[in-house]
Structure 1
Amino acid sequence: MNIQYSEAGLAKETSPSFMNRVGVDRAFNPTDWQRILFREFEANLLSETRSFPCIFGVAGFRADQLRYSFLDPLNARNVAAVLGPYLSESRGFGPNTSLVIFSRPGQVEPLEAYERRFWRLLCDLAVEDHRPWPIAIPEELDNPRWEFCFAGEPIFVVCNTPAHVSRQSRRASSFMITFQPRWVFDSILDNEVSAERAFRKVRDRLRRYDFLAPSPALGRYGDSGNREFAQYFLRDVNEAVDCPFHRLGVERSK
């Protein structure tokens, strides 16, 4: 059964959707898995003793600009039903908005299984997308200008899993995916000075937060040596990441 929650948190049986912080509190009891995962997420972002590395995510949470969805099962069809409406409204949520999707906790799998699951999900999600791929974004992943796109919008994607140990910034108690519209970065990093200051601050926080050095895959969008796909799913060791698909959706369309 799919459940939709309005911004007020009132539930009805229909397609899955998203909610703000008030909606989460109103929709779920304190012992529900949704509330437990959300409280963990909140505690990580608001910790005063261990600053979360993503300063944009922290700012978005404090300003209640993030939106949340809890999917069971977390599959491409359910994600598409949430992501499309979110993107159509996202510019009204604020300059630091993202869509955070939580899945029901289960048995912890090896990290490699979550990596395969993540890329399978993005591949299937590309198949679910009925809007044309943006002309300005190349479809080949091995390109510095590539970014995942859905409903005509380029999106930076981050995956967190319960199997991450050394890279605590990518750890969550369930399989969790964050979709951040590309325009969020465009407005934040609008000049070289502010961009360099922001990246330096994030890297400094990563060094204190994680149990290993920041991934060499982290880079600036559009730089010749940067590949966005390599930043979506970071492993628990610093090693090169092969391009998982030549083009999203190709395997499913064969």
Structure 2
Amino acid sequence: MLFSQDELAGLPDKFRWGQSAISHILSKFENEAGPRTAFPCVFARNTVKRGNLRFLLIPYEPKNSRYELGLLASGLRTYIDQINIDTLDVNHNRSLLVLFEPVVTLTTTDQFKHIFIEAMQFLLDEDQRPWPSLVSKDPAHRTWTMCFHGCELFVNVSHPAHVLRRSRNMGAGLAFIINPRKIFDIAAPANQQGSAITAKIRQNIDTYDDVAHSGLLGSYVLGEAQWQQYMIPDNNEDAPLECPLHFK
């Protein structure tokens, strides 16, 4: 179910869990009195203030012991159809938060890794449009980024097993923060101004989190790997997640 930031009331029973999940996320942006309470990404804070967040709720099916990933594919198509890649504007960007229903038996990093990989592979398998010609299908290549419905994407994975990285913990369930990848080229371009913006956000992360920002974070326009940035470890010692995705 895809809806905007001001459409929280009256959710159907199947999605009722989303109200508390979204309320918790929005509460992370309410208190900005000090460096430890202000969410580190200024662009995210501005998106919330302007009411531009979009939410996509993914229920869990107990009978099948899996999430309804069909809703992920259909909701993401709708989201992409609603944005114009050619006229992206940082001040009007609509980030998409994909929230997976919390399940008491799903609590570990390995479980969330499995769901994340399953979700990304499902999108590749269900994609009805050609892969963008300028984007490699090799995740190790400098031009690779996740794509769906003809759109280049950046996927930020947050989950409750992140303890040190508070900025990558959005509550009791798995969450994907999805943006059109090109918005980052606009927000932090490959010039002196862009470098300053990136440095400031990483400095904010160092203050907000209980561990220094990950060395895996990088810039697409500088040819730095994207996949490793999606789901980073909770510390700076563990190896990055390897990409098992494959194309049809």
**TM-score (normalizing by structure 2):** 0.85
2: CA distance, partners of 1:26 / 1:201: 39
2: CA distance, partners of 1:93 / 1:192: 19
2: CA distance, partners of 1:54 / 1:173: 21
Pair 1:160 & 2:158 matched: yes
2: CA distance, partners of 1:45 / 1:147: 28
Selected match of 1:63 from 50, 67, 78: 50
SS in 2 for 1:227: coil
Mean CA deviation greater in 87-96 or 177-186: 87-96
- Sequence identity (%): 24
SS in 1 for 2:3: coil
SS in 2 for 1:156: strand
Number of positions where the alignment pairs a residue of Structure 1 with one of Structure 2: 230
1: CA distance, partners of 2:241 / 2:55: 30
Residue 94 of structure 1 and its aligned partner are, at CA, apart by 5.5
Residue 93 of structure 1 and its aligned partner are, at CA, apart by 8.9
- Structure 1 residues 142-172: Cα deviation after superposition (integer angstroms, max 9, x where no partner): 0122110000000000111111111111112
2: CA distance, partners of 1:46 / 1:154: 31
SS in 2 for 1:102: strand
Pair 1:222 & 2:206 matched: no
Residue 191 of structure 1 and its aligned partner are, at CA, apart by 5.2
Q: Which amino acid aligns with 2:94?
A: T
2: CA distance, partners of 1:175 / 1:80: 16
- 1:243 corresponds in structure 2 to 242
Residue 26 of structure 1 and its aligned partner are, at CA, apart by 4.8
- 1:231 corresponds in structure 2 to 229
**TM-score (normalizing by structure 1):** 0.83
- 2:192 corresponds in structure 1 to 193
SS in 1 for 2:152: strand
- Structure 1 residues 199-251: Cα deviation after superposition (integer angstroms, max 9, x where no partner): 11211111111111110100111324x21000100111213315322xx334x
Runs of 4+ in 1 over 4 A off after TM superposition: none
Correspondence list, 1:96-115, <5 A: 96-107=93-104, 108-115=106-113
Residue 22 of structure 1 and its aligned partner are, at CA, apart by 1.4
Pair 1:80 & 2:73 matched: yes
1: CA distance, partners of 2:135 / 2:146: 9
> In 2, are the aligned partners of 1:189 and 1:195 still within 8 Å (CA)?
yes
2: CA distance, partners of 1:211 / 1:197: 23
SS in 1 for 2:184: helix
